[in-house]
């Protein structure tokens, strides 16, 4: 299609298919970008995407963003995310040459496929180096450890109050984020910060020792409060082990006192009766 359509001046690909280190499987998307003379005609009539096959579903994220009040500029770029009945998925973005010039070199996992006007800037061979784990600064380490231990009291409070959505949110979205920072840094040290963990840390299992991976698995609980408490204390143990290692490697100070006192507090809250009138740790 790109060869035959004069509106399309260049094509390039990014995403996992450009990364030789990513295992190939049947769920890999095709992340394709069309550099076009204008976007309007591609948006006004979307029938042109039918050439790619029969759809299960199509998402237009830019249109959805605009519908909820976000600021988007259809005249510069627009995306169609397409899932087909044959199982393939194409994430196709159309963008102007102006937009491409601002963003093309930002993603090192980029492969040019077609360039009718020789407008695509020269780019080195694709590399995942830009996605490698970053070394923590001392400030980031301090923030991570403090936030991990501090926010656990919110999780505990939510459980005691029988506020499942609140406690799960605090654990999964705040506490877990800090746990995963620590896991990432620990893996970075083990591999000299020369590996990528993928989107949403999907390669934790690949790089963590089996013992630590088993602990990490146990940090995922269902809606049962007893199970959530078990997950909390396993998360604390894993964070402590890895946090001490990271602190030693970078000559940082691990907050032993916060750790000790918060564990005591958590155990106290866990054992509180539902009609408790005070907290005595």
Q: What is the pLDDT of residues 59-112, one digit of tens each?
A: 999 999 999 999 999 999 999 999 999 999 999 999 999 999 999 988 888 999
User: Per-residue pLDDT for 221 more than 90?
Assistant: yes
Structure-block tokens of residue 39: 């976007």
Residue 202 has pLDDT above 90, yes or no: yes
pLDDT at 239 over 80: yes
Q: What pLDDT score does 269 carry?
A: 95
206-229 burial by CB neighbour count: b if 16+ within 10 A, else e? Answer: ebbeeebbebbebbebeeebeebb
Give pLDDT, residue 229.
98
Dihedrals phi, psi of 277, to nearest 5 degrees: -105, -10
DSSP 134: P
Res 175 pLDDT > 90:
yes
158 falls in which pLDDT band (50, 70, 90)?
very high
- On the question of pLDDT at 273 being above 90, the answer is no
Burial class (CB within 10 angstroms; exposed 0-12, middle 13-18, buried 19+) of 14: buried
Computed over every residue of the chain, the mean pLDDT equals 95
| 3-state DSSP assignment of residue 257 | helix
pLDDT exceeds 80 at position 280: no
**pLDDT recorded at residue 19:** 86
How far out from the chain centre does Cα 158 lie? 26
Average pLDDT estimate for 22-30: 90
Residues 6 or more apart whose CB falls under 8 angstroms from that of 142 comprise: 252
pLDDT value at residue 23: 84
- CB 240 within 8 Å of CB 259: yes
DSSP-derived secondary structure letter, 281: -
pLDDT value at 281 more than 80 = no
Q: Which tokens go with 163?
A: 């506020």
Do residues 269 and 279 lie in contact, with contact meaning Cβ atoms separated by under 8 Å?
yes
**What is the predicted pLDDT for the residue at 49?**
96
Contact 112, 128 (CB under 8 A): no
Pick the closest to residue 175 from 139, 151, 193, 210 (CA basis).
151
pLDDT on residue 274:
84
pLDDT at residue 15 in the model: 87
Provide the pLDDT for residue 206. Answer: 95
Average pLDDT rounded to a whole number, residues 34-59: 96
pLDDT above 90: percentage of residues in the chain: 88
Any idea how long the chain is? Answer: 281
Question: Given pLDDT bands bounded at 50, 70 and 90, which one contains residue 21?
Answer: confident
Nearest-angstrom CA–CA distance, 71 and 123 = 30
Cβ-based neighbour number of residue 188 at 10 Å: 21
Residue 131 pLDDT grade (very low, low, confident, very high; cuts 50, 70, 90): confident
What are the residues facing 94 on neighbouring strands? Answer: 34, 78
Measured in degrees and rounded to the nearest 5, phi and psi for residue 5 equal: -95, 115
Mean pLDDT of 167-190: 98
Say yes or no to pLDDT of 126 above 80. Answer: no
Token match 């809250």: residue? 269
pLDDT score, position 65: 96
Report residue 228's pLDDT band, with 50, 70 and 90 as the boundaries.
very high
- Alpha-carbon distance of 90 to 52, in angstroms, equals 9
Query: How, if at all, do strands 55-59 and 30-36 pair?
Result: unpaired
């Amino acid at each position: 299609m790109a060869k035959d359509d004069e509106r399309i001046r260049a094509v390039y690909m990014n995403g996992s298919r450009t990364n030789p280190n990513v295992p190939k499987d049947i769920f890999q998307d095709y992340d394709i970008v069309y550099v076009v003379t204008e976007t309007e005609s591609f948006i006004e009539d979307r029938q042109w995407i039918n050439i790619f096959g029969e759809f299960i579903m199509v998402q237009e994220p830019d249109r959805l963003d605009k519908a909820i009040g976000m600021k988007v500029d259809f005249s510069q770029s627009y995306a169609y995310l397409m899932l087909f009945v044959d199982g393939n998925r194409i994430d196709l973005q159309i963008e102007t040459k102006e937009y491409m010039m601002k963003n093309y070199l930002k993603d090192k996992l980029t492969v040019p496929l077609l360039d009718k006007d020789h407008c695509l800037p020269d780019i080195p061979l694709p590399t995942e180096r830009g996605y490698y784990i970053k070394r923590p600064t001392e400030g980031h380490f301090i923030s991570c450890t403090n936030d991990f231990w501090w926010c656990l009291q919110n999780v505990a409070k939510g459980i005691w109050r029988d506020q499942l959505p609140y406690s799960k949110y605090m654990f999964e979205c705040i506490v877990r984020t800090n746990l995963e920072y620590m896991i990432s840094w620990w893996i970075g040290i083990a591999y000299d910060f020369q590996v990528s963990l993928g989107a949403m840390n999907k390669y934790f299992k690949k790089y963590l020792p089996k013992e630590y991976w088993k602990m990490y698995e146990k940090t995922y609980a269902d809606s049962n409060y007893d199970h959530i408490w078990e997950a909390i204390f396993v998360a604390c143990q894993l964070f402590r082990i890895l946090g001490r290692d990271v602190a030693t490697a970078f000559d940082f100070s691990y907050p032993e006192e916060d750790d000790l006192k918060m564990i005591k507090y958590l155990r106290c809250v866990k054992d509180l009766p539902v009609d408790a009138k005070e907290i005595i740790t």
